[in-house]
Amino acid sequence: MNLSDLQRKDVVSLEDGRRLGRIFDARVSEVGVIEGFTVMNYRFWKFWKTNNEITITFSQIKKIGSDVILVDV
């Protein structure tokens, strides 16, 4: 699976079922290992605010489905 495939999916919280946004970027270590993803909140896209980033690690990802990524945040 490519990063562009993941960027097309909504990220949804298992805690309350709200949509957190979509994956915007990947966090990569110095040795080339993906450590997690940066999710941009939907409010960012509407109002162009810069403080609505959420960092998701691999341990927080519970399921990657065909349309959504379920996370435990």
Domains and CATH numbers, the chain: 3-71 (2.30.30.240)
pLDDT band at 52 (very low <50, low <70, confident <90, very high): confident
63 in Cβ contact with 72 (< 8 Å):
no
Cβ neighbours, 10 Å, residue 35:
11
Q: Which phi and psi angles does 28 have, rounded to 5°?
A: -120, 135
How much of the chain exceeds pLDDT 70, in percent? 86
Read off the pTM: 0.81
